């Protein structure tokens, strides 16, 4: 799939032009889908005009009167029902495209390529469809929906209920389908809560309940859980495990639900058996593939049979614990492996606890981390560290006789010296505030003093919304987020953010969502206001 590039133009309307760095060719497109998009108006899809010049194809999508979804998410807030309504539009567009011989995998599900008509809360979504013979990416449809949901929830004013968790859980399931996605959205839009709150939300494939069992086991959970945190009863322990790790973990480890918090060794044994059996089958398959199937013959077949028998014999010896006898070592059984594993874990826990106690200051008042230790204790710690240093380098200190503690002299007070002022702050201030804007009303006299606006490095948005704009312009005709100036070290660029009345640069209207470079002295017009870009130190010579 070629790497796509996007451009925006004005030509009797506003168009988004998609191309590729290496160029697009007609052989890369599906002819049926290409003609369908060009001749039929499909709901929720941008109208496509395919243009070919010198065997290079460009895709022109009409976006007149529509706004980019990524800009809408920055400017507007939506509620949970409105979010579910937008997701329902996405699900219906993906599901209904099959009626027009299209595939959901060729939808460009990115907020920069989805457009909105009217306000976001009640608007209609329009999607970009790429009629390629190959799918847009190897990412699954459910993965693309997860990314889109994650971006949409950033614009939600208040998160309520567990609907988002239910949707993400469904999209992460291997049995994901658009029909189930739509059914869940219908329930959420109807106000039904997940099952934990009395509703009928999605919980994945049906699983057996995790209940206490009376089977015995050898290992206990107390070795892994701090003693003060262990519940008093088996019922409390089961509740604690379910709350912390969830029902999936509880069902995956049956022993965790037993009274007393015991874990069975049968799961560890079954895993070892599975690994040995799977390894044996895989090795035998590789032998037959490399020796016999690639070079058929009676001799190679006999060799494969003999090696297969040897592999089976070796696997049986390993399972019975006899393989180590042939090597001259003590046999290791599956149960021993489980015990050794728990013993190593216990040793690591002990080392961690001893290390944590070694570096803490044992202050009698229980001071917090970062407090200064007493001088005598600091001296003793320094002595201990010197002994450790000498032992590491091969010399051991003789034990010293204990005597009365000699008070250490008070530590000298550390003072900071203020060096002479350098030119760094001036350089930084000049680099971050190199440019300014002069704002004038159209009917304002040229000799009157304009308003000076200081531009800082980064994004500078002009509009009438106080929440998202760096400069608020309440002149009639100015959109909530009208235009954006990107201030960089090398210069500035101007971008119209899909405003209703547009932006005029150097006397020409510019296309929305496209960056135009600006030089000091250039002017642009928003509604009845004119802005002139100035550079500090050059303003007198730019008129």
* pLDDT score of 348: 57
* pLDDT score of 537: 60
Q: Please indicate, yes or no, whether residues 274 and 149 belong to a single structural domain of this protein.
A: no
Domain boundary residue among 305, 326, 347? 326
Lowest mean pLDDT among 271-280, 370-379, 473-482: 370-379
* pLDDT score of 229: 46
Contact 294, 262 (CB under 8 A): no
Helix (H, G, I), strand (E, B) or coil at 149: helix
Helical residues (DSSP H) of 19-115, grouped into ranges? 31-39, 69-75, 80-96
Q: Please indicate, yes or no, whether residues 224 and 309 belong to a single structural domain of this protein.
A: no
Q: Please indicate, yes or no, whether residues 120 and 237 belong to a single structural domain of this protein.
A: no
The Cα–Cα gap between 274 and 272 comes to 5
Helix (H, G, I), strand (E, B) or coil at 398: coil
Q: Is 444 part of a structural domain of the chain?
A: yes
Which residues, other chains included, contact 264 with Cβ-Cβ below 8 Å and sequence gap of 6+?
Answer: 215, 217, 254, 255, 258
Q: Which long-range contacts (CB under 8 A, 24 or more apart) does 437-440 make?
A: 437/485, 437/531, 437/532, 437/533, 437/534, 438/531, 438/532, 438/534, 439/529, 439/530, 439/531, 440/529, 440/530, 440/532
505 versus 405: which is more confidently predicted? 505
The Cα–Cα gap between 343 and 117 comes to 64
* pLDDT score of 405: 52
Q: Is 365 part of a structural domain of the chain?
A: no
* pLDDT score of 342: 59
Q: Is 450 part of a structural domain of the chain?
A: yes
CATH code where residue 51 lies: 1.10.510.10
Lowest mean pLDDT among 23-37, 59-73, 112-126, 195-209: 195-209
324 versus 471: which is more confidently predicted? 471
Lowest mean pLDDT among 27-36, 264-273, 278-287, 534-543: 534-543
The Cα–Cα gap between 434 and 427 comes to 10
Domain boundary residue among 292, 311, 326? 326
Q: Please indicate, yes or no, whether residues 52 and 142 belong to a single structural domain of this protein.
A: yes
For every residue of 107-133, DSSP letters joined together read: B---TTSEEEES-TTT-EEEE-B--BS
Q: Please indicate, yes or no, whether residues 12 and 141 belong to a single structural domain of this protein.
A: yes
Q: Is 275 part of a structural domain of the chain?
A: yes
The Cα–Cα gap between 70 and 323 comes to 63
pLDDT of residue 52 exceeding 80, the answer is: yes
pLDDT grade for 161, boundaries at 50, 70 and 90: confident
* pLDDT score of 408: 54
The Cα–Cα gap between 454 and 458 comes to 12
318 versus 83: which is more confidently predicted? 83
Q: Please indicate, yes or no, whether residues 228 and 153 belong to a single structural domain of this protein.
A: no
Which residues, other chains included, contact 454 with Cβ-Cβ below 8 Å and sequence gap of 6+?
Answer: 433, 436
pLDDT of residue 123 exceeding 80, the answer is: yes
* pLDDT score of 1: 62
Q: Please indicate, yes or no, whether residues 230 and 275 belong to a single structural domain of this protein.
A: no
* pLDDT score of 413: 55
Question: Facing residues of 494 across strands?
Answer: 485, 516
Q: Please indicate, yes or no, whether residues 285 and 255 belong to a single structural domain of this protein.
A: no
pLDDT grade for 279, boundaries at 50, 70 and 90: confident
Helix (H, G, I), strand (E, B) or coil at 366: coil
Lowest mean pLDDT among 191-195, 290-294, 367-371: 367-371
Q: Is 73 part of a structural domain of the chain?
A: yes
When pLDDT is averaged across residues 227-255 and rounded to a whole number, the result is 47
The tens digit of pLDDT for each residue in 466-510 reads 988 999 999 999 999 999 999 988 889 999 999 989 999 999 999
Q: Please indicate, yes or no, whether residues 184 and 247 belong to a single structural domain of this protein.
A: no
Our count of domains for the chain comes to 4
pLDDT grade for 16, boundaries at 50, 70 and 90: very high
pLDDT of residue 104 exceeding 80, the answer is: yes
53 versus 264: which is more confidently predicted? 53
Domain boundary residue among 311, 326, 341? 326
Q: Please indicate, yes or no, whether residues 142 and 281 belong to a single structural domain of this protein.
A: no
Q: Please indicate, yes or no, whether residues 223 and 79 belong to a single structural domain of this protein.
A: no
Structural domain including 497 reads 431-541
* pLDDT score of 424: 40
Helix/strand/coil percent split, the chain, to 5:
40, 20, 40
pLDDT of residue 325 exceeding 90, the answer is: no
Q: Is 36 part of a structural domain of the chain?
A: yes
Give the predicted TM-score (pTM) of the model: 0.55
The Cα–Cα gap between 295 and 298 comes to 10
Q: What is the percent of the chain with per-residue pLDDT over 90, rounded to a whole number?
A: 34
Average per-residue pLDDT in the chain?
74
Lowest mean pLDDT among 121-135, 159-173, 274-288, 521-535: 274-288
The Cα–Cα gap between 17 and 254 comes to 57
Question: Facing residues of 504 across strands?
Answer: 509, 525
pLDDT of residue 426 exceeding 60, the answer is: no
Q: Is 504 part of a structural domain of the chain?
A: yes
Highest mean pLDDT among 52-66, 182-196, 339-353, 506-520: 506-520
* pLDDT score of 311: 87
Give the closest residue to 62 by CA, choosing from 104, 26, 115: 115
* pLDDT score of 151: 93
CATH code where residue 523 lies: 2.60.200.20
Highest mean pLDDT among 234-248, 432-446, 479-493: 479-493
Q: Please indicate, yes or no, whether residues 258 and 307 belong to a single structural domain of this protein.
A: no
pLDDT of residue 116 exceeding 70, the answer is: yes
Q: Is 332 part of a structural domain of the chain?
A: no
């Amino acid at each position: 799939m070629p790497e796509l590039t996007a451009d925006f133009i004005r030509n009797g309307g506003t168009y988004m032009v998609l191309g590729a760095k290496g160029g697009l060719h007609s052989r890369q497109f599906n002819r049926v889908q290409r003609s369908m998009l060009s001749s039929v108006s499909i709901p929720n899809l941008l109208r496509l005009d395919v243009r070919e010049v010198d065997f290079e194809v460009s895709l022109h999508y009409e976006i007149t009167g529509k706004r980019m979804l990524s800009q809408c998410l920055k400017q507007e807030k939506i509620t949970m029902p409105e979010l579910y309504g937008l997701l329902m539009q996405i699900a219906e567009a993906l599901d209904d495209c099959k009626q027009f011989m299209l595939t959901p995998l060729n939808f460009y599900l990115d907020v920069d390529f989805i457009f909105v008509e009217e306000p976001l809360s009640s608007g209609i979504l329009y999607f970009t469809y790429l009629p390629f013979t190959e799918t847009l990416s190897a990412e699954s449809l459910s993965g693309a929906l997860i990314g889109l949901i994650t971006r949409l929830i950033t614009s939600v004013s208040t998160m309520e209920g567990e609907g988002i968790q239910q949707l993400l859980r469904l999209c992460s399931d291997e049995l994901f389908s658009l029909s189930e996605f739509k059914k869940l959205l219908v329930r959420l839009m109807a106000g039904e809560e997940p099952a934990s709150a009395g509703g009928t939300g999605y919980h994945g494939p049906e699983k057996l309940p995790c209940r206490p069992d009376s089977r015995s086991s050898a290992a206990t959970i107390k070795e892994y859980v701090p003693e003060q945190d262990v519940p008093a009863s088996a019922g409390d322990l089961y509740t604690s495990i379910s709350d912390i790790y969830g029902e999936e973990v509880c069902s995956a480890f049956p022993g965790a639900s037993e009274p007393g918090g015991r874990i069975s060794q049968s799961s560890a044994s079954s895993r070892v058996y599975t690994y040995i059996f799977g390894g044996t089958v895989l090795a035998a398959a590789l032998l037959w593939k490399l020796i016999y199937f690639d070079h058929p013959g009676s001799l190679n077949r006999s060799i494969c049979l003999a090696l297969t028998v040897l592999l089976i014999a070796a696997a049986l010896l390993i399972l019975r614990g006899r393989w180590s006898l042939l090597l001259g070592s003590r046999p290791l059984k599956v149960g021993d492996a489980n015990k050794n594993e728990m013993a190593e874990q216990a040793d690591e826990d002990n080392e961690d606890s001893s290390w944590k106690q070694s570096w803490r200051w044992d202050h009698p008042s229980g001071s917090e981390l970062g407090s200064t230790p007493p001088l005598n204790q600091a001296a003793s710690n320094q002595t201990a560290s010197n002994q450790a240093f000498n032992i590491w380098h091969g010399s051991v200190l003789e034990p010293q006789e204990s005597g009365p503690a000699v008070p250490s002299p008070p530590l000298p007070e550390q003072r900071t010296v203020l060096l002479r002022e350098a030119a760094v702050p001036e350089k930084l201030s000049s680099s971050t505030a190199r440019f300014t804007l002069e704002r004038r009303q159209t009917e304002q006299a040229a000799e009157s003093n304009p308003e000076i606006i200081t531009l800082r490095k980064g994004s500078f948005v002009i509009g009438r919304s106080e929440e998202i704009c760096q400069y608020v312009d309440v002149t009639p005709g100015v959109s909530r987020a009208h235009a954006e100036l990107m201030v960089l070290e090398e210069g500035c660029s101007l971008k119209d953010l899909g405003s209703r009345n547009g932006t005029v640069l150097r006397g020409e209207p510019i296309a929305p969502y496209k960056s135009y470079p600006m030089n000091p002295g250039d002017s642009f017009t928003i509604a009845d206001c004119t802005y002139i870009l100035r550079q500090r130190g050059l303003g007198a010579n730019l008129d």
